A and B are shown apart, each in its own frame.
Chain A
Amino acid sequence: METIVALGIGVLTGSGVWLLLRPRTFQVIIGLSLLSYAVNLFIFSTGGLRTGAAPVLERGVAGDLAQQADPLPQALVLTAIVISFATTALFLVVLLASRGLTGTDHVDGRERER
């Protein structure tokens, strides 16, 4: 499972970085989204990857990270999702404003001279 998750994170990051370096604002925003998915998965995986681990403590049983899933990365990832969602939405607005003001979707606000 580690291999699959690692490959997934790697592919998302690679695509995200490539898109981030592209000249169109739409590609940039998709790249940022992919990158944030990769980062979210990464944060999630820092808690250790396990199947069938109990998410919450059982009554009367002392908690143990070998048995239970680590709740903290899950809390972190939730916060990170919310924040990246909000900032991406904000970026989308700026992207549209830039498109409207400059008349192009190039990230520099003008096309390169050829």
Chain B
Amino acid sequence: MDHLTIAPIVVPLLAGTAMVLIGDQRRTLKAALGLASVLALLALALVLLRLADGADTEAVRVYRLGDWPSLFGIVLVLDRLAALMLLLTSILGLAALVFSLARWHRAGVHFHPLLQFQLMGLNGTFLTGDLFNLFVFFEVMLAASYGLVLHGSGTARVRAGLHYIVVNLAASLLFLIGVSMLYGVAGTLNMADLAKRIPTLAGEDRALLEAGAAILGVAFLVKAGMWPLGFWLPTTYAAASSPAAAILSILSKVGVYAVLRLWLLLFGGAAGASAGFGGAWLLLGGLLTIAFGSVAVLATQDLARLAGASVLVSSGTLLAAIGAGQVAVTGGALFYLASSVLAIAAFFLLIELVERGREVGADVLAVTREAFGEAEEEDLDEEEVGVAIPATMAILGMSFIGCALLLAGLPPLSGFLAKFAMLAPLLGPNGGSVPFISWALVAALVLSGLATVVAMTRTGINAFWASPERAVPRVGVVEIAPVLLLLALCLALTVQAGPVMRYMHATAGSLHAPQGYVQGVLSAPPSGSGEGSGR
């Protein structure tokens, strides 16, 4: 029972290793293994979610590798936020894997093990309780994502992948500088211990620590794609194969997760003189990211880049909402995070189906196409999609409308509820004095929604109505099923908004009052079982 917390890391690790040993010829076996692994992850995530949301509301589940005391050993910490992110990861993993079974997993070697290691890195990032392991799992996740971005090869992918790798390697170095500065000043890498020590620091140490934290923050914000650190993002995401891009849509949220976790833990209300350090930067950076993302959404003529720009808008929205520093807004932002991750992943998967059967670059200005690089034709047989579905265009069109509603935040789907949940507390129940910056955030949220509506409508008309010579694409059941699954989950978020929102607000509440987390980690009793669980 105790070992359940580490299972989301061990399961994909074992599955991925086994796949490497199996070799590249036996794809069916690997696909079956991968499917078993992601289904197990999904089940685990659901169980862990229930545990994290259990009766004892402020408790965190702490897993200590090798049963060392928390301050000396490595700890994994499961709380509501971690459980939520685990669940989202496993859902995306399932969707991407099922989608890839139609043809993408044959487009290059090692798709399946890379996906497993990607999931392992993501799960580890969400579970880890100390900074250096956060770095290690970041690197696992990034190394796998380099492989996934390049999956399928081709000039456009290699070119975008090159930039992606350089940017992330440089960000990793910043990460290391930040972590070692924090260690040099505070003498600990355990996040909970760090949070406890920060209020007691002396003046000059505090300045050094804040500098270190800012450098660390830059590394996270590169990942999240905050303006002006996110120029690599749309190109990379647009160039990646669609199952890889679907997974990448949660990769950018890892940066948001790290900011959410560390900023609220280290610089929350209890941080003494450092309380709220950097909050204005998050808010301002988020607003600028929303603005940049909205312009990018309007300017782009290409579906894949439109999705990449939507990732920027969604990152900016989250960062700005977190930077606002109000519990209720953070709760709404978490709802938005779940909704937008699912919607963007569905959109990335849908794009490939819509683009199929169209003349490449039919509605794209020659200039844009030139700048982006000609899309590589995959050497894959169009007939190999398996059982095709009926009424293809109707289903694709409805899915597209669903994605558009979700991304723009229009009623009746969960995107609207998420934006409403952020806007309502910003404007405040007490009325009257709403600070200017809240108005700016409200305006940014509404205008970015408008920009998304305009862009999605325009591309939708181009894709579905205004291209007379298009052939109806052959779309396999296994390809449309993940898209419909993700959209159905968004629908479920809408219908079950009450309980989900309660969970999100409970999560935000414990993030903003991290004493429970700190106490839980530092005072975790020794398990005493002595079975040496450091696998």
Instruction: List the interface of chain A (C-beta within 8 A of B).
Output: 20, 25, 28, 32, 35-36, 39, 42-43, 46-47, 72-73, 76, 79-80, 83-84, 86-88, 90-91, 94-95, 97-98, 101-102, 107-109
Contacts and interface: CB of A to CB of B under 8 A. Distances in A.
Contacts of A109: 155, 158-159, 162, 373
Contact of A39 (B150, B159, B173, B189): B173
B163 interface: yes
A42 B172 CA distance: 14
B184 A46 contact: yes
B170 interface: yes
B136 interface: yes
Contacts, number: 87
24 contacts: A32-B173, A35-B173, A39-B173, A39-B177, A39-B180, A42-B177, A42-B180, A43-B176, A83-B139, A84-B172, A87-B139, A87-B146, A87-B165, A87-B169, A91-B165, A91-B166, A91-B169, A94-B150, A94-B162, A98-B158, A102-B159, A109-B155, A109-B158, A109-B159
B354 interface: no
Nearest to B165: A91
A46 B181 contact: yes
Contacts of A80: 176
A107 B162 contact: yes
A76 B184 CA distance: 12
A107 B176 contact: no
A95 B155 contact: no
Contacts of A20: 166, 170
Contact of B143 (A36, A86, A95): A86
Contacts of B153: 97, 101
B463 to A, nearest CB: 28
A94 B143 contact: no
Nearest to A88: B169
Nearest to B159: A109
A87 B143 contact: yes
Given A43-B176, A46-B180, A102-B155, A90 B166 contact: no
A90 B146 contact: yes
A83 B168 CA distance: 13
Chain A interface secondary structure, helix, strand, loop or mixed? helix
Nearest to B181: A46
Given A102-B159, A107-B166, A76 B132 contact: yes
Given A28-B166, A90-B146, 5 more contacts: A43-B180, A72-B183, A87-B169, A108-B159, A109-B162
Contacts of B179: 76
Contact of A95 (B136, B139, B162, B173): B162
B514 interface: no
B259 to A, nearest CB: 22
Interface of B: 132, 136, 139, 142-143, 146, 150, 153-155, 158-159, 161-163, 165-166, 169-170, 172-173, 176-177, 179-181, 183-184, 189, 373
Contacts of A107: 162-163, 166
A87 B172 contact: yes
A110 B87 CA distance: 42
A32 B170 contact: yes
Nearest to A72: B183
Contacts of A72: 183, 189
B166 to A, nearest CB: 6
A28 B165 CA distance: 11
Contacts of A91: 165-166, 169
Q: Which 9 A-B pairs have the closest CB atoms?
A: A46-B184, A109-B159, A43-B180, A46-B180, A101-B155, A98-B158, A39-B173, A83-B139, A39-B176
Given A87-B172, A107-B166, A94 B161 contact: yes
Nearest to A38: B173
Contact of A90 (B154, B165, B183): B165
Contacts of A90: 143, 146, 165
Contacts of B181: 46
Contacts of B173: 32, 35-36, 39, 84
A108 B160 CA distance: 8
A46 B179 CA distance: 10
A34 to B, nearest CB: 10
Contacts of B155: 101-102, 109
Contacts of A83: 136, 139, 172
A98 B159 contact: yes
A101 B184 CA distance: 45
